[in-house]
A and B are shown apart, each in its own frame.
Chain A
Amino acid sequence: MITLLLILLPLLAGLVCFALPGKTARGVAFGATLVQLVLTLWAVSRLEPGSAVDSLSVSLPWLQDFGIGFSLGLDGISGLLVLLTSTLLPLILLSTFGRHDDKPASFFALMLLMQAALVGVFEARDAVLFYFMWEAALIPVYLLAGIWGGERRVQVTLKFFVYTVFGSLFMLVALAYLYSQTAAVLGHSSAAIADIYTVGRGLDLTGQIWIFWALFLAFGIKMPIFPLHTWQPDTYTESPAPATILLSGIMLKMGIFGLITWLLPVVPMAAKFYAPVVIFLAIIGVVYGAVIAIRQKDIKRLVAYSSFSHVGLMAAAIFTFSAEGIQGAVVQMFAHGVSVAGLFMIIDYIERRTNSRDILALGGITKSAPVLTVLFLIITLGSVALPLTSGFIGEFMMLLALGKYNLVAAGIAGTTIIFGAVYMFVLFQGVMFGKATKLTESFKDLTSAETIALVPLVVLTFWIGLYPAPFLKLSEPAVLALVNLLGGL
């Protein structure tokens, strides 16, 4: 039942928040996310060690006559992503305490609904439920961005919405097709994940290829993968910081999670067939995003492109079908969530104080903000994958996987460690160092709420970097099971 509770708690708390006055809603929302975090830790600790199968599963009959169930479950991979969601949410809320937005109650309510939907995506063990949660997750974030976003929010969020729905429709078609085949293959209709796997794997290569591209389009847009990414920088930039963090920290992982759970095991033959194409596109994205990031003047847009670049590496690594690659991508999903959330929080803190995100108009902040300097530097180091920080573990494993696949590919994708250092230090030095400008002369260091929101991210940055074993062990069985499946073909 815990898996169900993890959806119900934020859902109900969110609905309650709509009806509360702003201040109370804030308290309720924050409290709910903390309880959710405790529940998540408990759930994750109860995952069967060393086992790849779903534990803690719940299956409620839903559209029973159609073989569609409200089935939930967790394995190491989805468990890690739920943990990421539950860790980031309270911190995001905490970081917004200094913001003065209109309609705070609705804002907090939507954040919680978003959390419920995200957990639903990661826990769903039924194709219809997965699709349902996938689309449901779009609505709160769309509203968050559309209501509280920047000047161009209407135009930008519309594009984001249409683009992602466009991709999801292909997924719907693919899943519907697989579902429609279950009756013929199994003797009864079923949307359960295991049955979808069976049907998908039973298809011939041509059939798998159709399904592959339909699913890939949906997941590829969400991540996004080159060249399906042009909605992303605008959306990240125009959204309010909390929505940007949701989008970059967690929501893009829906795409990667989709690849791992709803694509590779469904159509493994087609995935293998097209792996070189995906790796090629993904590596283009790595370099493309990084080179563009170097020239950005808007710091939020810079981080948006850097995120795009990082995601490319995860996609490429997954398509090596190796333990190193997939484990690397999984741990990097968590690490990237931590570092990108920290970066967007910091950018928000800076923008609140200076009303600017222009790297040329900022500078010299370090003088008056030592706490921000230290925290920002550590998050930056995590992002550039310095050893002993979170980014290194994943990047090392992913590049290793690529290196075993093709050393030249690893060399090209590996330029991320060079370009990453360039744009992140351009960002850090440009904002924090140099002479103070008009905008930064009277910069105030972080408040305690702002600091407390960042400190857990810094702790995680070192924890994952120094002792990643708990994270790696959590996802290892699921990853190895997937690798065995793919290798057995």
Chain B
Amino acid sequence: MNAEASELALELALIPLIPLIGFIINGLGFGKLNKTVAGWLGTLAALGSFANTLHVVLEHWGQSLTVDYFSWISVGSLDIHFSFLLDPLSSIMLLVITGVGSLIHIYSMSYMHHDEGFGKFFAFLNLFLFSMLLLVMGSNYVVMFIGWEGVGLCSFLLIGFWNKVPAYNAAARKAFVMNRIGDLGFLLGIFILIALFGSVEFGVIFPQAAAVLTPNSGVAIALTMLLFVGAMGKSAQLPLYTWLPDAMAGPTPVSALIHAATMVTAGIYMVVRSNVLYVLAPTTLEFVAWIGLATALIGAAIGLFQNDIKKVLAYSTVSQLGLMFLALGVGAFSSGMFHVVTHAFFKALLFLGAGSVIHAMSDEQDIRKMGGLKGKLPVTFAVFLIATIAISGIPPFAGFFSKDEILSHVYEHSKLMWGLGLLVSFMTSFYMFRLVFLTFFGGFRGTDHQKHHLHESPWLMLGPLVVLAGLSIAGGLLGLPPVLSHNNWMADTLAPIFEQAKAVNASLFGHGSMTHETEWMLMAVSTVVALVAFAVAAFTFGGGKNVPAADGSPINPVQKLVYNKFYIDELYGAVIVTPIKAFGEYLYAVIEYLIIDLVVNIVGWSATMGGKALRRLQTGIVSFYVLLMVLSVVALALIGFTIKS
């Protein structure tokens, strides 16, 4: 290896290693290091990784470099290496993960300051960064899988962070198990890849994909479907989404980092990475699009009636992820990635903003007990409003551009999907402004105690919010539409990733045949829809009117159905969880003891009865038999050696 290559190998390795070292020090030092040291250590690990990433990425911008470290699992003809890939796609993910991650670390130093598990919290955050970085840096599916499962573990650890509470532990376990259902699909997909290509390396599989896989053949569909099952689990898509809202049991910065900005986008990343495989399976793509759309609709619908500030944002995340999968499904891979990035900015901002609100409200999360906070929390209000405008798709903030890009591709693919996509936009804008009005406008509805303690958060928390607000405003510049600019930075940067897919189906990657008039029309419609939703929300909830009634008040059946999340958790409980538990009891009580063991005992008993004839020899004392046995084998051995000599 020449000097330049080994320098790159070291620099790349340091990206995940710095947070790993932070994890180890904070993990072993937990309880010994004081909070200031632990907090800065964790934060500097994140910032250091960000700085290093920035350095490496800028130095090698636009290149595609693979660094091979060592042979990890080698068996027969299969040789899986521990190796990293730096290319435009992983570069963008790396910047988002370490950048947004660093901001969240800074914020957490203040937010978590009173928590007794402070050092442990930073250790877990660092471990999460490490896993997520491995996930996007792996140059093959198995290294990706390390990170894939690693982020699942961190999610488990952080959702159940306050592990004295049984409900939180249950939520943590639910997240891990649901993720693992997806992981099994992912693993089976990897097995098919190994069977087909004899390798798991992206660099080996993708160039051969078009030659090996017949478009839309059974095996192409099975492969992509199985990989997508993995994505469903990680990115909380129907039917594996119910863990994500429960994941809000974790501390709020965790919700921001893991359950909104980064980990849940891993599924999108994986599908984008595998784009050529998906282009070879149009049936799967269509399926992905519909699952994404359905998830977007259900998530948004449930979000309409939630009263817990974090739950609203959680369902919003489910819905937005659905939108990203809709983009992938119609072949708009780069638009999906664009939305991953802008969503990371504004959703992290929303969660951290919500954290600031919760902090000020003495840990209250119910928006029915808030109201009128804009005066007391001016900065939080301002940034939260910016994020709301961004997610609602109102120009010129970031969300408008990414969402518009998605919807214009959807429009070309299917008018029906486009219409339903607009419905999602409408609901999104509505529930977000409902949230803003109920939280920040009108009169204060909390207790006197809470009112007395209301305060704006310290600058250690507000600083990251302001940076994210800036990104939420300007993020749209990363992907300007053709009517505004000839250069779409995101699409141009990612173009090399889609080379092979383009060779299979070029029509997915052009600007399409859309005229500028149509584009303007689509943008206008999106904007109008978002503004109308805003108007309806303002009309309904402006000034803190129509605060939802307390739980238990009579509501109409449709509202009740939606408020209770369509009873999907209950359905899973009744159809899957309870039957498996009952099956376990049944196997244990009936099959194990009444059947198998009984047969065994009967056989044993008959042998005993049969042996009664030989009673004289039988003392019935097992140790006697053992003695007899020992004696005979020893005798046998001795005889053997004596005969020899």
Interface residues of A (CB under 8 A from B): 61-65, 68, 70, 132, 135-136, 139, 142-143, 146, 157-159, 161-163, 166, 227, 229-231, 288, 291-292, 294-296, 322-324, 327-328, 364, 366, 370, 374, 381, 386-388, 393, 396-397, 399-400, 403-404, 407, 410-411, 414-415, 417-418, 421-422, 425-426, 429, 432-435, 467-469, 472, 476, 480, 483
Give which listed residue, B31, B145, B150, B173, contacts A425 with CB less than 8 A.
B173
Give which listed residue, A136, A323, A417, A434, contacts B75 with CB less than 8 A.
A323
In B578-599, which residues have CB < 8 Å from any A CB?
A: 580-581, 583-585, 587-588, 591-592, 596-597
The answer to whether B180 and A364 have CB atoms under 8 Å apart is no
B164 at the A interface (CB under 8 A) = yes
- CA–CA, A480 and B74, complex, Å: 12
| Cβ distance A55 to chain B, nearest Cβ, rounded Å | 22
Closest to B591 in A: A288
B617 at the A interface (CB under 8 A) = no
On chain B, the residues within 8 Å of A295 by CB distance are: 581, 584-585, 588
On chain A, the residues within 8 Å of B585 by CB distance are: 295
The answer to whether A414 and B188 have CB atoms under 8 Å apart is yes
On chain B, the residues within 8 Å of A227 by CB distance are: 596
On chain B, the residues within 8 Å of A472 by CB distance are: 73-75
On chain A, the residues within 8 Å of B190 by CB distance are: 400
| Cβ distance B590 to chain A, nearest Cβ, rounded Å | 11
The answer to whether A418 and B180 have CB atoms under 8 Å apart is yes
The answer to whether B192 and A387 have CB atoms under 8 Å apart is no
B65 at the A interface (CB under 8 A) = no
On chain A, the residues within 8 Å of B247 by CB distance are: none
On chain B, the residues within 8 Å of A400 by CB distance are: 78, 190-191, 194
The answer to whether B164 and A364 have CB atoms under 8 Å apart is yes
A417-B192 contact in complex given A425-B173, A434-B166, A469-B71, C-beta closer than 8 Å? no
- CA–CA, A142 and B483, complex, Å: 82
A146-B73 contact in complex given A163-B600, A364-B164, C-beta closer than 8 Å? no
Interface residues of B, dominant DSSP:
helix
Number of A-B contacts (CB under 8 A): 169
B629 at the A interface (CB under 8 A) = yes
Range of interface residues on chain B? 35 or more
- CA–CA, A373 and B462, complex, Å: 35
| Cβ distance B25 to chain A, nearest Cβ, rounded Å | 14
A132-B636, A327-B75 provided; 7 other pairs, C-beta below 8 A?
A: A62-B637, A162-B607, A229-B596, A324-B76, A388-B150, A407-B188, A418-B181
The answer to whether A429 and B194 have CB atoms under 8 Å apart is no
| Cβ distance B132 to chain A, nearest Cβ, rounded Å | 14
- CA–CA, A364 and B166, complex, Å: 10
Give which listed residue, B74, B172, B194, B644, contacts A469 with CB less than 8 A.
B74
- CA–CA, A135 and B631, complex, Å: 13
B575 at the A interface (CB under 8 A) = no
The answer to whether A407 and B160 have CB atoms under 8 Å apart is no
A414-B184 contact in complex given A62-B641, A396-B73, A425-B173, C-beta closer than 8 Å? yes
Give which listed residue, A143, A323, A364, contacts B626 with CB less than 8 A.
A143
B163 at the A interface (CB under 8 A) = yes
The answer to whether A434 and B176 have CB atoms under 8 Å apart is no
| Cβ distance A360 to chain B, nearest Cβ, rounded Å | 12
On chain B, the residues within 8 Å of A161 by CB distance are: 622
On chain A, the residues within 8 Å of B641 by CB distance are: 62
- CA–CA, A381 and B76, complex, Å: 27
The answer to whether A323 and B176 have CB atoms under 8 Å apart is no
The answer to whether A139 and B630 have CB atoms under 8 Å apart is yes
On chain B, the residues within 8 Å of A296 by CB distance are: 588
